[in-house]
A = this chain, B = another copy of it.
Amino acid sequence: MTERPEPDKRPASRRIADDLRAAIDRGELRADARLPSERELSMTYGTARNTAREAISILQSEGLVVAQHGRGVFVRKRWPLIRLGASRYSRRLRQETGLSPFRIEVSRQGRAPRTECRSVTRERPPLDVADRLSLDPATSEVVRRENWYYADEEPVQLGVTYIPVDIAGDSVLATEKTLGTGSIYARFEDLGYPIARIREEVSARMPSTDESARLAVPPGVPIIEVLHTGYDAEGRPFEVTRFTMRGDLNGLDYEMPIED
């Protein structure tokens, strides 16, 4: 009986993927490094090009590499997460720094933050939003504000805020894209709605084709969705914001007391 070496049961595509992944993990292929081309891989492994291609698509679905048409396949650069939490709504931070937590976080990474209000409209609220605001989705109307958040002109977050028209009235919230010093929460305070509590419902999923395009999400990167509700001191909800964030660039960081 001779000891035979364990035959490699893995499919060739899987083996190529494992080798490349190991090279990335070992640091031989660093961020932004180019992988061997599909034709090179198929030569060195003695497979058809489609098999090498399959290997790369495994790594893509794991979010490890990005293909660029005509250029090559590159190890994805990992930025540190933009960490957002309840401090987003803190009055003290708002007054002390004059900067939003988003700007602080992005600047700290050496990237250039930019935020843009792309539209302010009046609409019927989506069902889940109407529910959080205790509105009748069939008859009520809300002001819809669409905000985009960029780092180095790359879109990283989208936030859509819904405000009952009864509350927004004809204030700047309903009419202006630019809201002046302090964030939108300073304006809510002006209207008599200082934010006292929040609810944040967090989920994760793969982007739809549409979102992929709008947020420019590379394949293999999930979306974090946060449905945020703001309450005043009397526990009345006065605004809902749906955040849609690139999962590879954003994280959440909450700290809270345990109430009984």
Question: Which A residues contact B (CB, under 8 angstroms)?
Answer: 50, 57, 61-63, 81, 83, 86, 89-92, 195-209, 219-224, 247-248, 251-260
What are 28 A-B pairs with beta-carbon distances under 8 A? A57-B57, A62-B208, A63-B205, A81-B203, A86-B256, A86-B258, A90-B258, A90-B260, A91-B260, A92-B260, A197-B258, A198-B256, A199-B253, A200-B255, A200-B256, A201-B251, A201-B252, A201-B254, A202-B254, A203-B252, A204-B204, A204-B222, A206-B220, A206-B221, A206-B222, A222-B222, A222-B247, A257-B257
Known: A61-B219, A206-B221, A256-B256. 19 other contacts (CB 8 A): A61-B61, A62-B206, A62-B207, A81-B203, A90-B259, A90-B260, A197-B255, A197-B256, A197-B258, A199-B253, A199-B254, A201-B251, A201-B253, A201-B254, A202-B251, A203-B247, A205-B247, A205-B248, A206-B220
Nearest-CB residue, chain B, relative to A200? B254
Chain B contacts of A223 at CB under 8 A? Answer: 204
Closest beta carbon of chain B to A232's beta carbon, Å: 10
Nearest-CB residue, chain B, relative to A230? B258
Bound Cα distance from A256 to B219, whole angstroms: 34
Chain B contacts of A201 at CB under 8 A? Answer: 83, 251-254
Chain B contacts of A219 at CB under 8 A? Answer: 61
Nearest-CB residue, chain B, relative to A246? B204
**Contact A197 B92, beta carbon cutoff 8 Å:** no
Closest beta carbon of chain B to A198's beta carbon, Å: 6
Residue in A204, A251, A260 with the greatest tally of chain B CB atoms within 10 Å = A204
Bound Cα distance from A243 to B135, whole angstroms: 35
Partner of A202 from the list B50, B62, B197, B252 (CB cut-off 8 Å) is B252
Closest beta carbon of chain B to A221's beta carbon, Å: 8
Chain B contacts of A255 at CB under 8 A? Answer: 197-200
Bound Cα distance from A135 to B143, whole angstroms: 49
Nearest-CB residue, chain B, relative to A208? B62
Nearest-CB residue, chain B, relative to A252? B202
Bound Cα distance from A200 to B256, whole angstroms: 9
